[in-house]
Amino acid sequence: MAEQRDDERRTADVQRRTADVRGSAVDARGSAAGAGEPRRGTARREVARAWDDLVTTARRTVSDGLVVGTSGNVSVRVGDTVLVTPSGVPYDRLTPDDVTGVDLDGRQVLGTLVPTSELPMHLAVYRTTGALAVVHTHAVHATAVSTLVTELPLIHYMAAALGGPVRVAPYATYGSDELAENMLHALTGRSGCLLQNHGTLTHGSTLAQAYDRTAQLEWMCRLWLTASSLPGLTPSLLSREQLTEVEERLRGYGQRG
């Protein structure tokens, strides 16, 4: 009950703040059309499109089995605004009117729904990298691996697509700045990491890329768990040299493509 009252208070706070900034911020619902067009109209359309993309990606994490219920979250950056999935709203119920956005300091500038409690992790990524999209899940195989090792063993060369061997960020309470800090450290030189006893986080230059990295990471974790599950047998692993060769090849492929 106390939690619910807390939520309501936060929502009221957010509504007040949103009312304060209305007019100066981009209104994705187009209710403030007028002066400043067409630049603001273009920005509104960009936000609406990004929100549509975000909702599609969030729903995909559920339909692909990477997320159960609302236990993950997705964000995308449009200029200095970060659109995020709101806290506790099933993704199939999100509509174009539910656009939820914050600035890089976490101040709500769009919408009235409460942003995801994992906001500190998302913002930490945008403040320190050039990423434009972040996907966070509690995918089962990846989360299982996060409880067993401090780095995902090099079971497959697709680790190169994430920038190298995937590290596990030490556990800290969800939504905390400490978790965001541990995550940033684990992400150094990588586009994805595991969060100990918690889940995954990947970023990319598009939602599709961030999503694909999550799917690849979950798949690699499942692969390692599967290969490790036969008593008396240990899977062979790749060397760093073998992975470096793949990284070089992937870079070359990118240039030709």
Residues identified as active-site: 118
Sign of the four-CA dihedral 143, 146, 148, 153: positive
Q: Which residue has the tokens 């007019």?
A: 23
Residue 136 burial by Cβ neighbours in a 10 Å radius (0-12, 13-18, 19+) = buried
According to DSSP, the residues that pair with 83 across neighbouring strands are 76, 101
Contact (Cβ atoms closer than 8 angstroms) between residue 109 and residue 21:
yes
Q: DSSP letter string over 101-117?
A: EEETTS-EEE-SSPBPT
Assess contact for 122 and 73: CB atoms under 8 A. Answer: yes
Per-residue HEC secondary structure of 78-90 comes to ECCEEEECECCCC
Listed in sequence order, the residues at least 6 apart from 153 whose beta carbon sits closer than 8 Å to its beta carbon are 165, 224, 235, 237
| Residue 164 Ramachandran class (φ > 0 left, ψ -120 to 50 alpha, else beta) | left
Q: What is the DSSP letter of 130?
A: -
